[in-house]
């Protein structure tokens, strides 16, 4: 198990970057306070995915910020990433653990409450409530957890909880107060005029509302 002590999680989406270079956006975000980054590439072939992951890893290593790869174990291994994030219909966390080292950060998306009691949730380093609020960035979702859902799941598990979905500086404080440990965002940072300032604003809200 890895101690997961991160607070502002950037999930990348090149389409959300308003035509700007993804690595530039990520670097600005990190300067503004993002402390963990997930490379999420849904269309890219493996070779290009690995190349991009290696570039991003080299950048993030300079800042001591871990790189998580979305749903692709060969890419995560090839890029020597710090971890992997899988969803309910991806490679199961127990399988990931059997194929990769124990020190890798393993994130698991929770779409149904029933996932909580499984061996998969048990081997994860953090659980992502996906989505906390419905979002146009990802529309194939099941449960909109809402603040009540965050609070309920908080009572049911001691695992670090990451909230994702339509998070902005406006609702960040309430989500932390409801029990999330970490907030993950795509558009609030990738599509911001200043990704650094957007990250700063989110980070400030998180710190303010941590009990
Ligand atoms: N998983 C659940 S919601 C989501 C992902 C990848 C997208 C979140 O994007 P945004 O723009 O922060 O709402
Ligand atoms: Mg997935």
For 147-206, the pLDDT digits (tens) are 999 999 999 999 999 999 999 999 999 999 999 999 999 999 999 999 999 999 999 999
* Cβ-proximal residues to 74 (8 Å cutoff; 6+ apart), any chain: 46
Residues within 6 Å of ligand 1 by CB: 11, 130-131, 135, 137-138, 164-167, 185-188
Domains and CATH numbers, the chain: 8-209 (3.20.20.70)
Express each pLDDT in 87-100 by its tens digit: 999 999 999 999 99
- List residues with catalytic annotation: 40, 109, 138
Q: Is the ipTM of this complex over 0.90?
A: yes
Give the chain's radius of gyration (CA, Å).
16
In the block, tokens 């124990």 appear at 102
CA of 87 from ligand 2 middle (Å) equals 4
């Amino acid at each position: 198990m890895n101690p997961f002590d991160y607070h502002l999680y950037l999930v990348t989406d090149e389409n959300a970057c308003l035509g700007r270079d993804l690595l530039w956006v990520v670097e600005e975000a990190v300067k503004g306070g993002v402390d963990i980054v997930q490379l999420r590439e849904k269309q890219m072939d493996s070779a290009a995915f690995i190349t991009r992951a290696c570039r991003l890893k080299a950048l993030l290593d300079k800042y001591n910020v871990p790189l998580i790869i979305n749903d692709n174990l060969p890419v995560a291994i090839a890029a020597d990433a710090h971890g992997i994030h899988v969803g309910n219909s991806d490679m199961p966390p127990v399988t990931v653990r059997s194929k990769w080292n124990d020190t890798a950060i393993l994130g698991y998306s929770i779409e149904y409450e029933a996932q909580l009691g499984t061996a998969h949730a048990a081997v994860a380093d953090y659980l992502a409530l996906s989505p906390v609020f419905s979002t146009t960035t990802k529309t194939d979702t099941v449960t909109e957890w809402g603040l009540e859902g965050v609070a309920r799941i908080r009572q049911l598990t001691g695992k670090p909880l990451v909230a994702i979905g339509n998070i902005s500086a406006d609702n960040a404080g309430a989500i932390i107060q409801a029990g999330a440990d970490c907030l993950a965002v795509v558009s609030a940072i990738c599509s911001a005029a200043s990704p650094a300032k957007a990250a700063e604003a989110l980070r400030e809200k998180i710190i303010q509302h941590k009990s």
